[in-house]
Amino acid sequence: MKFLKKRALLLFWIILFTDIVLGLLKLDNWRWFTKPVLIPLLLIFLITNKSKPGNPFLSKLIFSGLMAACIGDILLMFSTTGYFIAGMAAFVMMQLIYACIYYYLQKKRFRINKRGLTGVAFMLLLSYFLFKYLETSPLFTPFAIPVAVYIGAISLMACLAANLSEAEKISDSGAIYIYYGAIFFVISDGSIAVEKFLFPGLTGLSIFVMLTYGIAQYLIVKGFYKFQMIKFSLVLFFLFICMYPAISQNYPTADGDATLRTKKLYSNLFRVMQKGVLFGHQDDITYGTGWMLEPGRSDVKSVTNDYPALFGFDLGHIEAYSPYNLDSVPFNRMAELIRFGYERGAVITLSWHCNNPYNGKTAWDVSSGTVTSILPGGPKNELFKQWIHTVAVFIRNLKSNNGEPIPVLFRPFHELTGGWFWWGKGYCSPEEFKALWRFTVDQLKNVEQVHNILYVYNAADFNDQREFEERYPGDKLVDIVSFDAYQSADVMDPRKSFIRNNKMRLSILTDFASHHNKLPAFSETGSENLPDKEWFTKTLHEVIKDYRVSYVLVWRNGGLKTPGKGGRQFQPNHSFYTPPADHPAANDFRQFHSMPDMIFLDKLAGERIYY
Ligand code: BMA
C-alpha cells in the first residue's frame, strides 16, 4: 500500500501511455491489460492519500462515480452495439454522480454564477451543433436518443463544475482542477462521438479521445484531492495536438480519393491481420461442386456452417461486352452476390482474365507485342481504354443496400511473374509492365473516376526479392502485395516442397510489405481435388502460421456437369479446392475453420471492417 500511495499516479500515467501506444500499434487485444486498471489506480491514489477522515457521504459518491467509470471503460472495449449502449449508461451514471458531488460541494451557498451561466450557454450551443453534425451520419440514427441523454448528463456535470470553480474563487483549490477536468471530458466525449459516427476506427482520433479522457479523470481526481500538476496535463495536451497530424496518418491508399469505406477497409485489414488470416474462396457463393447460382449456397458453408471471410470473383469477358464471365457467371448476378457478401461484412476481391486485346483471343494467348500495342501510342490503346471502361462501369456500379459504392480488392494482370498470360514475364519488359500498370490505374482513378478500389500487385513464382519486385510499379500505385502458388502433385514430396517454397516466398513477401507499408496476401492457392486429406491443417496452415499475412484464398470449385440456366452451357471444371461435404478432407477443413488464427465470416463480421 505504501508503494502504491506514492506511485499510484505515476503508474496511472505510465499505463495511460502504454494504452495509447498499444492503440497506435493497433494491438487492441493487449489493451485489456491497461485500460481497465486506469480508474482503479486513481481510486487507490485517493484512498491511500486520505489525510483526514473526510465526509463519508462524499467519499461514497466519489467511490461510486469512479466505479461507474471503470465499468464504462470495460464495457466500451467490446465492439458490439449492446455493449456500447451499456457503456454509455455507465458513463451517464458517472456524470450524474460527479454532478451531485459538485452540487453537494456548494450546497450551503449554491447560487448560479457567471461562469455557471456561461457553461450553460456554451454547452447548449455545442450540443446543438454537435448533434446536427452527427446527424449527417447514417450510423448515428439508432443512437440519437442515448446520445441525447448522455449530452444532457455531461452538460449538467460541466455546468456545475464551472459554477463550482467560480464559487470557490481560490485558484489552487480543488475546484479549478474539477473545472479543467470537466473541459477535457467535454472535449474527449465530443471527439468520441465524432470518431464513432463519422470517422470510425481513425487511429489518431481514438488516441486523442483516450488521452483527453485520461487527463480529464486525472484532473477531476486531483480536484477531489488537490494537486499542482495541472500544468503537466496541459503541456501533454498541447504536445499531442502538435503530434496529431503525424499519428493520425493511417495507411495511405494508392487512390488518394478512395471512398471512406475503401480507406477504412484498408486500415482495418491491417488491424485484423494482427488477429489472424482471412480465409477466402473463389466463386464461393456463385457455384460449387454440382450446383450453380443457388441463393445462399456455398461449399464452404456446407462443411463448416460458415462462409469464407473473402469472396473472389472474376471479370474475364466483361471486356468483350459479354453478359457472362468466362466461367458462365452472369455479371448481373455477380453484382448481386458481391452485395450479398459486402452486406455481411465480407471482403470482395476481383481478378480479371482479360482477353488478348491484340487479337481478341483469350488471356492465355501470349502473342508477342500485345503489351506494347495497348500502351499509349500503340495501335490497340484506344481499344484497351474501352476495355478498362467496361471494368470501371462494373466496379463503379457495385452498390450496397444504402447506395454506397462497395470497396473491392482489384487484382489485374495477375501472376505477372508467370509465363502463361499475355502480360506475363517474357512477353513484356519490366518497364513495359510498369507502364501498363500505371496506365490502367491512371485510367480507373483519374479518367473513369472509380474510387472504390484497392490495387493488388500479384506475382506467381519467384525465388528471391529481386524477382518479386522486378516489375513492381511503385508504392503509390499499389495497396496490397501478393503471390499465387498451388501445390503440385508432380513433385517428389508435394507437401514438403510446397511448405518449403511458400514459407520462403511468404518471408520475402512479408518483409517487402513491411518495408513498403503494404498489406501482404497469399492471393491464390490450393491443392487440386485435395488428395491429402489433411491438406488444410497440415500443409496450408503450416505454411502461413508463422507469418502475418492478411488473407489466403483457395481457387474455385467448378463442378456443374449439366447445362446452366438460360440455355448456356456452364463450363464444367471438375476440380475443387475446398472439400465437398462427403469428401475425406471435410473433417480436416472443419478443424482448419476452428483454428484460432483462421478468420472466416462469423469472426470477421464482428470486426466491422468497413467502419
Ligand atoms: C483459371 C481456371 C479456369 C477459369 C479461370 C477463371 O485458373 O480455373 O478454368 O476459367 O481461372 O476463373
Q: What is the pLDDT of residue 202?
A: 67
Q: Whose CA is nearest to atom 4 of ligand 1?
A: 327
As a whole number, mean pLDDT of residues 375-385 equals: 97
The percentage of residues in the chain with a pLDDT greater than 90, rounded to a whole number, is 67
Q: What is the pLDDT of residue 207?
A: 85
Q: What is the pLDDT of residue 274?
A: 78
Query: Could you tell me the pLDDT band of residue 1, with boundaries at 50, 70 and 90?
Result: low
For residue 551, give the nearest of 459, 484, 470, 466 by alpha carbon. 484
The C-alpha cell at 130 is 454537435
What is the distance between the alpha carbons of residues 91 and 11, in angstroms, rounded to a whole number? Answer: 23
Asked if residues 394 and 446 have their Cβ atoms less than 8 Å apart, the reply is no
Q: Whose CA is nearest to atom 11 of ligand 1?
A: 353
Averaged pLDDT score across all residues of the chain: 89
Q: What is the pLDDT of residue 210?
A: 92
Q: What is the pLDDT of residue 223?
A: 84
What is the distance between the alpha carbons of residues 413 and 478, in angstroms, rounded to a whole number? Answer: 13
Predicted TM-score (pTM) of this structure: 0.65
As a whole number, mean pLDDT of residues 334-350 equals: 98
The SS3 assignment for 62 reads helix
Count of beta carbons in the 10 Å neighbourhood of residue 543? 22
Q: What is the pLDDT of residue 470?
A: 97
Higher-pLDDT residue of 197, 540: 540
pLDDT (tens digit per residue) in 407-422: 999 999 999 999 999 9
As a whole number, mean pLDDT of residues 568-594 equals: 85
Is the beta carbon of 381 within 6 A of some atom in ligand 1?
no
Q: At residue 541, does pLDDT exceed 70?
A: yes
What is the distance between the alpha carbons of residues 137 and 287, in angstroms, rounded to a whole number? Answer: 37
CA gyration radius for the chain? 29
Is the beta carbon of 573 within 6 A of some atom in ligand 1?
yes
As a whole number, mean pLDDT of residues 62-67 equals: 90
CA of 269 to the centre of ligand 1 (A): 27
Q: What is the pLDDT of residue 491?
A: 81
pLDDT (tens digit per residue) in 140-170: 887 899 999 999 999 999 999 999 988 876 5
As a whole number, mean pLDDT of residues 550-562 equals: 83
Mutation test residue for ligand 1: of 283, 327, 354, 362, the one with most atoms within 8 Å of CB: 327
Tell me how far the alpha carbon of residue 243 is from its chain's centroid. Answer: 23
Q: What is the pLDDT of residue 229?
A: 46
Query: Could you tell me the pLDDT band of residue 29, with boundaries at 50, 70 and 90?
Result: confident
Q: Within the chain, how many helices (H) and strands (E) appear?
A: 20, 11
Mutation test residue for ligand 1: of 282, 292, 314, the one with most atoms within 8 Å of CB: 314
Q: What is the pLDDT of residue 119?
A: 95
Is the beta carbon of 314 within 6 A of some atom in ligand 1?
yes
| Class of residue 7 by CB neighbours under 10 A (exposed 0-12, middle 13-18, buried 19+) | middle
